[in-house]
Amino acid sequence: MKVFCVVAEKSWERISGHAVQLSSAVHSLGRPKGGGPTQADLLVFSAAEPAEDALPTQNMQNAFTKRLFCRIEGSVTQAQLHILDVVAHVVRQTTYDLILFTGSTDADLLAVRTAVRLSGSALTAAERLQLDGDHLTATRSAFSYNMHAVCRLTSKPWCVSIRPDAAEAVPATPTTDNTGKAVQPGITSTDTADTTSTAAAQSTAQSDTEIPQASILFQNAELPENTAEGKGSAPAGHSFCTCTRSDSRTGKSALEEAELVLIGGRGIGGREALGRIRAAAARLHGAVGVSRPCAADGWTGFEDVVGISGKTIRPKVCIVLAASGSMPFLMGIRNSSLVIAVNRDPGAPIFRASDYGIASDWKDLVEILERDL
């Protein structure tokens, strides 16, 4: 079984994390029946030369039989046609069964376009990849994240992008430990990470040996000029778009790092109410987020959205005010240690996803937070 792992990022800062995720995905595949070991090769596209700590451990380097590098001009978006040409060329030379894309925000685009180009089959945001005879199965979200679809890919090459946080999903937490002592309430989600892939990732990252120079770690993967793709490919620097502004965001936002988060749902009513919640949160050194409808209605910017289309947060305490609890929203708060929900409707779905629920007006709770507790 041959697996081709593709990472495309403008800078090298995130690439080692992507490489870990890819190697653990390959590790968790299992072996085809009667098949030999899986060979995984890595191709990295970046605007910068390989960094010295690109694959900092021997285990990470050994996870990939071949390590290739191709320099791109500008962002991955600008260089996408060139990237697709190089990937297609390399894949045709080696007949890979599975092509994995991960991490970068362009993984879905690259996976699907590669599948069409090579007459393979595609799957985006996949979790729990497994070999099933001569097929590949994976799960992914469907019905607005209310269901998981179990999918089987048949036509090779299988072109799959891995869900970025698939290795970070919190596993099911027991309510008592093995001595029978009660532990803090946690989620009992059916949406659990594959713990073998998580363990493999941790093992790969933690092994500590001598680091060879990055310059001899990667072979160049330029497109040969005498191939059809080489003649037709967009030359470095040419693009369908010119980037006129690029503001990078490094590190996490205050919302993602806060220990206490107050979240306003559509039921709070408007921008003024949000202002009151912000004041209460500030008093307690907390942060404020919103459900998506609040941002869509213009009460605040999308940078404050918590949920599948916004941020995933991990506070110690998350207080949800007047949000009904749709699945896309719950995906953003599922990693909170403790969730307290307030909603006037005692049947609101949010209560089933909370540790404590209060069937009341959200203002009653904010009033409590405004006092000296």
Partner 1 sequence: MRILVCFKIVRDLDNVIDSDWDSERDPSFRIDYTRKILNDADQGVLEAALLISDREPGTEITAVTVTDDDGASFFTGLFAAGIGNVVRIAPEEDLTLRPAATAALLAQYAAETGPYDLILFGAQAPPGDSRQVPYAAAEMLQLPAIDRVRELMNSDGRITAVRETDTSLEEYELLAPAAIIMENPVHSYLRLPTLRERMKASGKTAELIQRSAPALPDAEILGFRPARIRRDGRMISPEEAPDLLADILKEL
Restricting to residues 291-350, name those near partner 1 by CB under 8 A.
295-297, 302, 305, 309, 316-317, 324, 326-327, 330-331, 334, 338-340, 346, 349
DSSP for residue 256: H
Q: Give yes or no for a contact between 56 and 12, defined as CB atoms under 8 angstroms apart.
A: no
Distance CA 214, CA 366 (A): 54
Q: What is the CB neighbour count within 10 angstroms for residue 180?
A: 6
Distance CA 170, CA 318 (A): 16
What is the nearest approach in angstroms of partner 1 to the Cβ of residue 147?
A: 5
Q: Which of 29, 43, 90, 125 binds partner 1 (CB under 8 A)?
A: 125
- How many residues form the binding site for partner 1 (CB under 8 A)? 97
What is the nearest approach in angstroms of partner 1 to the Cβ of residue 279?
A: 16
Q: What is the dihedral of CA 70, 73, 77, 78, to 10 degrees?
A: -130
> Is residue 365 within the footprint of partner 1 (CB under 8 A)?
yes
Q: How do 121-132 and 135-142 pair as beta strands?
A: antiparallel
Build a one-symbol-per-residue string for 200-219: x at contacts with partner 1 by CB under 8 A, - elsewhere. --------------------
Which DSSP string corresponds to 62-106? HT-S-EEEEE-SS-TTTTHHHHHHHHHHHHHHHT-SEEEE-SSTT
> Is residue 198 within the footprint of partner 1 (CB under 8 A)?
no
- List 159's β-bridge partners, or say none: 99, 122
Q: Give yes or no for a contact between 306 and 335, defined as CB atoms under 8 angstroms apart.
A: no
Distance CA 347, CA 22 (A): 41
Evaluated on CA atoms 82, 106, 302, 313, the torsion sign reads negative
> Is residue 95 within the footprint of partner 1 (CB under 8 A)?
no
Build a one-symbol-per-residue string for 2-21: x at contacts with partner 1 by CB under 8 A, - elsewhere. ------------x-------
Shorter beta-carbon distance to partner 1: residue 273 or 358: 358
The stretch among 39-47, 115-123, 208-216, 221-229 that binds partner 1 (CB under 8 A) is: 115-123
The stretch among 91-99, 149-157, 218-226, 268-276 that binds partner 1 (CB under 8 A) is: 149-157
Shorter beta-carbon distance to partner 1: residue 57 or 312: 312
Radius of gyration of the chain (CA): 23
> Is residue 145 within the footprint of partner 1 (CB under 8 A)?
yes
Q: Which of 56, 120, 264, 265 binds partner 1 (CB under 8 A)?
A: 120
> Is residue 122 within the footprint of partner 1 (CB under 8 A)?
yes
Residues of span 174-193 touching partner 1 by CB under 8 A: 175, 185-191
> Is residue 153 within the footprint of partner 1 (CB under 8 A)?
yes
Evaluated on CA atoms 22, 8, 54, 13, the torsion sign reads negative
Shorter beta-carbon distance to partner 1: residue 200 or 281: 281
What is the nearest approach in angstroms of partner 1 to the Cβ of residue 32?
A: 18
DSSP for residue 110: H
Three-class SS state of 119? coil
Build a one-symbol-per-residue string for 243-272: x at contacts with partner 1 by CB under 8 A, - elsewhere. xxxxxxxx--------xx------------
What is the nearest approach in angstroms of partner 1 to the Cβ of residue 221?
A: 21
What is the nearest approach in angstroms of partner 1 to the Cβ of residue 8?
A: 13
What the block records as the tokens of 129 is 């990849």
What is the nearest approach in angstroms of partner 1 to the Cβ of residue 51?
A: 17
Evaluated on CA atoms 172, 178, 182, 184, the torsion sign reads negative
